[in-house]
Amino acid sequence: MQNFIDEIEQRSPAGIAAAIGRLIASGRLAPGDRLPTVRVLAGELGVSPATVSHAWRALSAVGLVTSRGRGGTFVQDTAPKWLPARSQSMIGAVGAVRLDLSRGTPDPQLLPKLGPALSRVSQRAVTPSYQDLPIIPELLDVLRVSWPYPVETITIVDGALDAISRSLDAVTHFGDRVIVENPSFPPFFDLLDQLGLERLPVAVDEHGIVPAGFAAALQLGPVVVLLQPRAQNPTGASMTAHRAEELARLLRMTAASADTIVIEDDHSAEISIAPDVSLGVWLPERTLHVRSFSKSHGPDLRIAALGGPAALIDPIVSRRMLGPGWTSRMLQTILHDLLTNGESMAQVSEARRIYFARQRALANALAEFGLDVVQADGINTWLPVPSERDAMVCLAASGIRVAGGSPFLANTGGPEFIRVTAGALPDDIRPVAEALFAAAHPRDGAVHPVAARWS
């Protein structure tokens, strides 16, 4: 008990929660340890039971503790073992929270309605031959027209990670080096680690991967460059055509990267406000471009298009025929309908506008409080904070859940961040912005008065 008392400097809900968070982070409280009861700790601290209860709810909201009813409150056990390492650290807490900005998923209300598309799809799932082309011709025609550069061949796979995983399987060997953005999408790190590939992290600015760091990493002879050209997760940065051309020029000029393959994950193509961009414009013979429709049309569709030179795509298609074979042509027909139906197209266009408006409103509101950020593209915003854990606890005490930045970073020990799913913001953004500002500029662990409206 004395550990708790000594650690708690500020006896507000956020101050108590932050202190317990530090005890858990340092290992002084281990998974499964039981916390003092609300009334006992409140008596020791000289505060009301409601204050401690509020702190416990904040810790629960960020997944640090769990309640077992009358059995008490305990430090949360580790995440399910079937999840990859970084995904374990990203797993969402299940406690009640007023506003969840942690998930990095699209707003369900902004996805196009599937009902009309389903009604237009044949009621029979018929495939005349197991050897048919894996992509239906009408969808292929639509994708070719919208592709960012003339591409030799396109196939359909089960989502962006499936495309990237299969591409890496086809072009890398154990021990090869891969340039990856820092920060980047945590499953990329897990995937590279599981394949035995060495990560070469390169910093990202508001226009994408930084050329100076990229040039240095190219000297190490990477086999692959893994990029997110638009709405980069987690930063929301979108690459300009000038930056893409500069990166392509560096690839061409560097002898050690003469055979380096570029894999691009354009996961937010339909909801990004940035112009279409790809290194394939300058390096078509060694660019694999992935276009996913999860953010724009629905994560559960599990569809992504993978395009590039036949020499790279054909082995992927061939290997896939010995596994799933193809992505359901029924799902492909649904996607084709969504991409060509006027009403569905209008719904996606409206979603793009709303996401842009939410990002702009958040950036403007943060600027009013003195926190200058570059307006992000897509659905995520990346914010620097003095302490990731303290910021998450502070926000949870205000009823707001965000994602910690550490899983997105290739290395530890540097500046700390949180990722905010701005695409899920409510209409009244100002109190959220004020809470985010308070988390980025903590004031003695207190819950900000305006932010408290979310609790």
Please check whether residue 413 is in contact with residue 349, taking contact to mean a CB–CB distance below 8 angstroms.
no
Q: How far apart are CA 263 and CA 237, in angstroms?
A: 17
Mean pLDDT confidence for 310-317: 96
Q: What angle do CA 36, 26, 416 make, to 5 degrees?
A: 120
Backbone angles phi, psi at 355, to 5 degrees: -60, -45
95-130 confidence digits (pLDDT tens): 556 899 998 999 999 999 888 888 877 666 666 667
Q: How far apart are CA 211 and CA 426, in angstroms?
A: 37
Q: Would you place residue 87 in the very low, low, confident or very high pLDDT band (cuts 50, 70, 90)?
A: low
- Hey, what domains does the chain have and what are their CATH numbers? 2-105+348-454 (3.90.1150.10), 131-340 (3.40.640.10)
Please check whether residue 276 is in contact with residue 300, taking contact to mean a CB–CB distance below 8 angstroms.
no
Q: What angle do CA 386, 391, 395 make, to 5 degrees?
A: 155
Q: How far is CA 382 from CA 227, 241, 368, 425, 436, in A?
A: 17, 22, 18, 14, 11
27-39 confidence digits (pLDDT tens): 788 888 888 888 8
Beta strands per DSSP E along 345-430: 380-385, 400-404, 416-421
Among 21-30, 271-280, 305-314, 340-349, the minimum mean pLDDT is found in: 21-30
Percent of the chain with pLDDT over 70: 89
363-392 confidence digits (pLDDT tens): 999 999 988 889 999 999 999 999 998 898
162-206 confidence digits (pLDDT tens): 999 999 999 999 999 999 999 999 999 999 998 999 999 999 999
The per-residue pLDDT of the chain, averaged, comes to 88
Q: Would you place residue 81 in the very low, low, confident or very high pLDDT band (cuts 50, 70, 90)?
A: low
- Does the pTM of the predicted model rise above 0.85? no
